[in-house]
Amino acid sequence: MYSSNLIGFILAVVSSAFIGSSFIIKKKGLQKAGASGPRASVGGYGYLLEPLWWVGMITMIVGEISNFVAYVYAPAVLVTPLGALSIIVSAVLAHFMLNEKLKRMGMLGCLICVVGSTLIVLHAPEELSIDSVQEIWELAIQPAFLLYTASVAAVALVLILYCAPRFGQTNIMVYVGICSVIGSLTVMSIKAIGIAIKLTLEGANQLVYYQTWIFAMVAVTCIVTQLNYLNMALDTFNTALVSPIYYAMFTSFTIFASVIMFKDYSGQSASSIASELCGFITVLSGTAVLHSTREPDPPPITDLYTPLSPKVSWVIQGNGEVWKQKDEDGSFPSFITVLRPDYFK
């Protein structure tokens, strides 16, 4: 048992390293693609032709596969909290590779998110024992989960059709919110598929049931939607900010969906439920701290004339000394205005 947990631990750490790195590699690819065409944040899909973005995607897939296999060898109580390491990896790499500075308060917010998410997972109840996909289907069509699914679909449509065109470029919660609510359904579907594969490998073929294929179609649809809006979030906002907020919201909605679908609270003690609520509040607090430390992002270029606008600066000469203002990138402006004291005599 010890060796099995050790293997799961190693796979979980490797998964976090790959997933955290994929955020940075994908953003580098998005930046490179955006330099020669429409950015993903304004609906461009040029990143699909960028090899660096695909390297990031492959890195993320390897990380997700490692994470999936880790659940085979170790319990979720061990594997899930280690997913928070991807936040630290992406924040540190973004600090050095993308020049996205992580301030002290940002570090504190990141730590708060990790602590809160860990509290939630450590006090999460044990999973039900499932013997067939049909059992999962019965859980999925219960009224409470159908109501949750309908609510997720309604919220996602409002965010996609109304909020994204109006507030997507200025409010990080829009794109990340879409990824998070849709992601909760993705996990439920992926879990059903994983159980089907496991049971099939054990000799009980689950591919003959239509429910397996419905879960597969839902998973593919949700994953494509998640990736699309995650790309927009990464292309628009600071990576060190996107990663923790996405992790916190995604974890919270996933646990909430699991509680509804699998009735995880059944048989739970009051102290365990209180601990989970405290963890959730802690996650929200960390998200608020991270959001408050965000530096304003430069406005996106929306027309062809903006980059051609000349830059004006001042050169003030007096007492034999010259003071010249430089732009933030270190370059000198296109036009210079000179002020000399003798001009006013």
The pLDDT value recorded for residue 1 is 43
- Residue 336 parent element (H or E): strand 335-339
Please give the DSSP secondary-structure letter assigned to residue 45: -
pLDDT score recorded for residue 313: 43
- List the chain domain ranges: 1-100, 105-296
pLDDT band at 69 (very low <50, low <70, confident <90, very high): confident
Q: What is the pLDDT of residue 66?
A: 87
CA–CA gap between residue 318 and residue 330 (Å, rounded): 23
Pick the more confident residue, 39 or 112.
Answer: 112
Q: Convert the pLDDT of each residue in 121-137 to its tens digit.
A: 677 666 567 788 899 89
Paired tokens of 65 = 């596969």
Cβ 63 vs Cβ 16: under 8 Å: yes
- Per-residue pLDDT of 227-255, as tens digits, reads 899 889 988 888 767 877 887 788 778 77
The span from the CA of 247 to the CA of 86, in Å, is: 9
| Helix (H), strand (E) at residue 313 | strand 312-318
What DSSP designation does 266 have? T
What share of the chain in percent tops pLDDT 90? Answer: 20
Residue 316 is predicted with a pLDDT of 46
Higher pLDDT among residues 191 and 173, named by residue? 173
Higher pLDDT, 41 or 255: 255
Torsion from C-alpha of 159, 163, 167, 168, nearest 10 degrees:
40
User: Can you tell me the distance from the alpha carbon of 179 to that of 228, in angstroms, rounded to the nearest whole number?
Assistant: 9
Give the SS3 label for residue 340: coil
Torsion, Cα 79 80 81 83, to 10 degrees, reads 90
Would the pTM count as exceeding 0.85? no
Distance CA 184, CA 222 (A): 9
Tokens matching residue 101: 């500075």
pLDDT at 320: 47
Q: How far apart are CA 131 and CA 27, in angstroms?
A: 41
Position 294 scores a pLDDT of 54
Mean pLDDT for 194-218 is: 89
Lowest mean pLDDT among 44-48, 189-193, 311-315: 311-315
Q: How confident is the model at residue 97 (pLDDT cuts 50, 70, 90)?
A: confident
For residue 312, what pLDDT is reported? 43
Q: What string of DSSP letters covers 142-209?
A: SHHHHHHHHHHHHHHHHIIIIIHHHHTTT-HHHHHHHHHHHHHHHHHHHHHHHHHHHHHHTT---TTS
Give the per-residue pLDDT at 5.
61
The string of pLDDT tens digits covering residues 277-326 is 787 788 777 767 766 665 554 554 444 443 444 444 444 444 444 444 44
